[in-house]
Chains A and B, each alone.
Chain A
Amino acid sequence: MRTIFFSVIIAFASLGLAEEARKGPPTVAVIDGEPIYKVLEPGAIPAIENPTFVTGETADKQMKPEEPVMGVVIKGEAHAYSLWQLDAHEIVNDEIRGTAFAATW
């Protein structure tokens, strides 16, 4: 699990929001005494809603051997997600044989 969006910082910089970054982002709520900060619009980091998959050699060609993956096995079917790819999406809405799940990073 990664616990930061570096893209947040990049977004602040590219939007010329240096001043806002110094002040800190707006607080939308306080939960258990700690603020929820709003740093980007919903969906600005695009979750994957309709994932497509590859197998075998095609899959091997896309991956470096030591590339880190998150893996699940549900009802005997294995799915893997490159963590480098998940950096840009953070959430994959997936389904295996009737079990709907989200792989999150």
Chain B
Amino acid sequence: MVYARTVGTKKLTLIVSGMLWRDSLIMMDKETESLWSHVLGKAVKGPMEGSTLKMLPSTQTTWVAWSKAHPKTKLLAKGEEVTNSHYQGYFDDPEKMGIFRARRIIKQMPGKALVWGVAQGPHAAALTDEAVGASDVASFSLGEMPAIALRGADDGVRAFVARGDGQALKLVYTEAGVLKDTATSSVWDKTTGVALQGKLAGTKLEELPVTRVYWFAWSSFYPNTQVVE
């Protein structure tokens, strides 16, 4: 998850507080020592209590797919040799869910299933890989807002508000593999959400930040989440 770290005119430096809430990270800003929920992006205690950090779009994929799609990418330099995850045992064990055991899991799917989570105001959706994978595009809605998830050229999944030119848009792949909307037949880029050709050329769909997350964690923070399977 990526957050803007400027709130009003204050630029914050975020550190790891060493505290956990709902089995997930609590961040602390060095400037005011307020405590921030990682998942909610909200200050839950301290001088900035009630403030929120704006979530910015990001995605998760493999290095080979990312670097191919973004050849000029900068990579965070590794100071030490890192060749595996410290947490592989945790990732691989379907029974391990948080260190204090998540208590509010909705038993709709296995707790360790990885989903793509999208939240907007009171609405939340969890998309399974199958939902996105079947056609590399999945339509859903967040309350009244039509939305779409797309697998990009870098293999990461992104979500967008499916609305342009004042109307709801349904995007589908043609048999030739071209992404078009059914209303205007404009051609869309699957990574940026920009219309490349057609009536809507130049229009950019509003991007909704997506989080790659375990189902147990997502359903614990968003118990009312819908599931797009």
Residues in B with CB closer than 8 Å to A45 are 16, 18
Q: Determine how close the nearest CB of chain B comes to the CB of A94; give it in whole angstroms.
A: 8
- Let me know if A90 and B217 touch, CB within 8 A: no
The range of chain A's interface size is 35 or more
Q: Confirm or deny: A80 has a beta carbon within 8 angstroms of a beta carbon on chain B.
A: yes
Known: A1-B212, A3-B24, A48-B76. A103 touches B11 (CB 8 A): no
Q: Determine how close the nearest CB of chain A comes to the CB of B79; give it in whole angstroms.
A: 9
Q: Confirm or deny: B196 has a beta carbon within 8 angstroms of a beta carbon on chain A.
A: no
Q: Determine how close the nearest CB of chain B comes to the CB of A100; give it in whole angstroms.
A: 5
* Nearest CB in chain B to that of A79: its residue: B74
- Let me know if A91 and B75 touch, CB within 8 A: no
Q: Which residues 41-92 in B have Cβ within 8 Å of A in the complex? A: 44-45, 53, 56-64, 66-67, 70, 72-78, 82-87, 89-90
Q: Confirm or deny: B140 has a beta carbon within 8 angstroms of a beta carbon on chain A.
A: no
- Let me know if A80 and B82 touch, CB within 8 A: no
* Nearest CB in chain B to that of A55: its residue: B74
- Let me know if B20 and A37 touch, CB within 8 A: yes
Q: Determine how close the nearest CB of chain B comes to the CB of A82; give it in whole angstroms.
A: 6
Select B87's contact among A1, A6, A77, beta carbons within 8 Å. Answer: A6
Q: Which residues 22-40 in A have Cβ within 8 Å of B in the complex? A: 24, 28-29, 31, 34-40
Residues in B with CB closer than 8 Å to A15 are none
Q: Confirm or deny: A70 has a beta carbon within 8 angstroms of a beta carbon on chain B.
A: yes
- Let me know if B16 and A54 touch, CB within 8 A: no
Known: A3-B24, A63-B63, A104-B25. A85 touches B83 (CB 8 A): no
Binding site of A, secondary structure by majority: helix, strand, loop or mixed?
mixed
Segment of B1-9, B126-134, B141-149, B171-179 in the binding face: B1-9
Q: Confirm or deny: A8 has a beta carbon within 8 angstroms of a beta carbon on chain B.
A: yes
Known: A87-B86, A90-B25. A71 touches B78 (CB 8 A): no
* Nearest CB in chain A to that of B212: its residue: A1
A-B contact pairs, 13 of them (CB 8 A): A1-B217, A3-B102, A4-B98, A8-B99, A34-B21, A34-B22, A54-B77, A55-B72, A55-B75, A68-B62, A71-B156, A84-B84, A84-B85
Q: Determine how close the nearest CB of chain B comes to the CB of A5; give it in whole angstroms.
A: 7
Residues in B with CB closer than 8 Å to A43 are 15-16, 18
- Let me know if B35 and A104 touch, CB within 8 A: no
Residues in A with CB closer than 8 Å to B44 are 29, 31, 36
- Let me know if A44 and B98 touch, CB within 8 A: no
- Let me know if B86 and A7 touch, CB within 8 A: yes
- Let me know if B156 and A1 touch, CB within 8 A: no
Known: A1-B39, A6-B87, A72-B56. A104 touches B76 (CB 8 A): no
**Bound-complex Cα distance A77 to B56 (A):** 14
**Bound-complex Cα distance A95 to B136 (A):** 31
Q: Confirm or deny: B213 has a beta carbon within 8 angstroms of a beta carbon on chain A.
A: yes
Interface string of B140-164 (1 = CB under 8 A from A): 0000000000000010100000000
